[in-house]
């Protein structure tokens, strides 16, 4: 069963048809005074000993939660495929003005505190094998539709392996635009996100060139077995006192984010979860409030939160059309982390459909 939507919260699609579109209304979540989220993600950690590029000014514009809240409306849509909600496009508030001066630096930089970076993911299935290997594009969801990232699953890979690039036309592993990758386990239920550093086998003397693990995602079933909404755990590196990501550079497979999490070794590591949708008796479906940013029911819709402050949405993702999704992220995530987490939700091997 999938999860739903918006200030008009949509119910989840059925397990047999993940794209079933249906909806209902729910009360809006009251916005509270903003807590400072920085403390949730600070783990100490050693400040990175890496070469620092010149710091650009952080994105301007902040956005208060009140601006994204919308008045709930009763939506008369009945369940069923053909009847999608017809809502004016301008209802989804666009992103605040965000300057992307250096793309490579921007996509790896954590979102500025107090700013929600609002993006749009589009899926392109055109071409000979795009049905099996679609390309996914990430743009800022604003008037200019600034391109940020592209991702595509690699062919001939034993496990799901997505390349992430800062050039929409160059999705090659060896290209200079390669910025990161998402790799799954054989079951397709656990994913790890890497930056574009080198494999530990080719490390230099001080390990400074070794790839960092930026995130890990674990999908599991819940008490309803495969018929309930997906349950996600997201593991990310913590932040140091300068609000910079603590570098996690595993020297082998036993030292990565997933193993640290499984072994409950949570030094410099933060555990996040998807917000549990609430069962709505009236509509017989699971609902979540996406504040108008999501308009279609889908098993892929989710919100990621820290258990200590479930009102602070670290990231949310959801369907707005057959091949279009909104993806919004906040501090401490960067665009590469959020995009890779979103890509993991598309993976066909997920046993939790």
What residue ranges define each of the domains in the chain, with the CATH number in brackets? Answer: 94-346 (3.20.90.10)
Q: Residue 285's pLDDT is what?
A: 78
pLDDT at 77 over 80: no
Residue 260 — very low, low, confident or very high, per pLDDT cuts 50/70/90? Answer: very high
Pair of tokens at residue 186: 């054989």
Residue that is written with structure tokens 């496990």 in the block: 159
Give backbone dihedrals phi and psi of 49, rounded to 5 degrees, phi first: -100, 40
Q: Residue 115's pLDDT is what?
A: 93
Residue 204 — very low, low, confident or very high, per pLDDT cuts 50/70/90? Answer: confident
Mean pLDDT lowest among 2-11, 138-147, 196-205, 247-256: 2-11
Instruction: Give pLDDT tens digits for 261-270.
Output: 999 999 999 9
Which alpha helices (DSSP H) does 133-275 contain, by range? 257-262
Share of the chain above pLDDT 90, in %: 41
| Separation of alpha carbons 163 and 152, rounded Å | 6
Task: Please tell me the pTM assigned to this model.
Answer: 0.76
Q: Residue 131's pLDDT is what?
A: 59
Instruction: Give pLDDT tens digits for 331-349.
Output: 999 999 999 999 998 876 5
Residues in the chain: 353
């Amino acid at each position: 069963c999938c999860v739903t939507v918006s200030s008009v919260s949509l119910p989840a699609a059925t397990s047999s048809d993940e794209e079933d579109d249906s909806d209902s209304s729910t009360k809006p979540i009251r916005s509270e005074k903003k807590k400072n989220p920085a403390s949730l993600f600070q783990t100490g950690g050693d400040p990175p000993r890496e070469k620092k590029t010149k710091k650009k000014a952080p994105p301007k514009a902040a956005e208060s939660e009140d601006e994204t809240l919308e008045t709930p409306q009763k939506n008369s849509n009945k369940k069923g495929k053909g009847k999608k909600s017809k809502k004016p496009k301008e209802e989804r508030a666009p992103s605040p003005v965000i300057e992307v001066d250096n793309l490579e630096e921007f996509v790896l930089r954590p979102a500025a505190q107090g700013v929600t970076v609002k993006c749009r993911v589009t899926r392109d299935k055109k071409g000979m094998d795009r049905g099996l290997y679609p390309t996914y594009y990430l743009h800022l969801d604003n008037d200019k539709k600034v391109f940020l990232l592209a991702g595509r699953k690699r062919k001939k890979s034993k496990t799901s392996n997505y390349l992430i690039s800062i050039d929409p036309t160059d999705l090659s592993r060896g290209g200079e635009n390669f910025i990161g990758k998402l790799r799954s386990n054989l079951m397709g239920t656990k994913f790890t996100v890497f930056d574009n550093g080198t494999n530990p086998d080719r490390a230099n003397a001080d390990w400074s060139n070794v790839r960092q693990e930026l995130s890990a995602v674990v999908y599991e079933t819940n008490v309803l077995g495969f018929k309930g909404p997906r349950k996600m755990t997201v593991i990310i590196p913590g932040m140091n006192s300068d609000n910079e990501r603590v570098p996690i550079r595993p020297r082998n497979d036993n030292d990565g984010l997933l193993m640290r999490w499984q072994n409950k070794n949570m030094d410099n590591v933060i555990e996040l979860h998807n917000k549990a949708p609430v069962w709505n008796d009236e509509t017989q479906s699971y609902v979540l409030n996406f504040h108008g940013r999501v308009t279609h029911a889908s098993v892929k819709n989710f919100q990621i939160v820290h258990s200590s402050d479930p009102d602070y949405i670290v990231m949310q993702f959801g369907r707005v059309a057959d091949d279009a999704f909104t993806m919004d992220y906040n501090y401490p995530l960067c665009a590469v982390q959020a995009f890779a987490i979103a890509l993991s939700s598309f993976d066909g091997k997920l046993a939790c459909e």
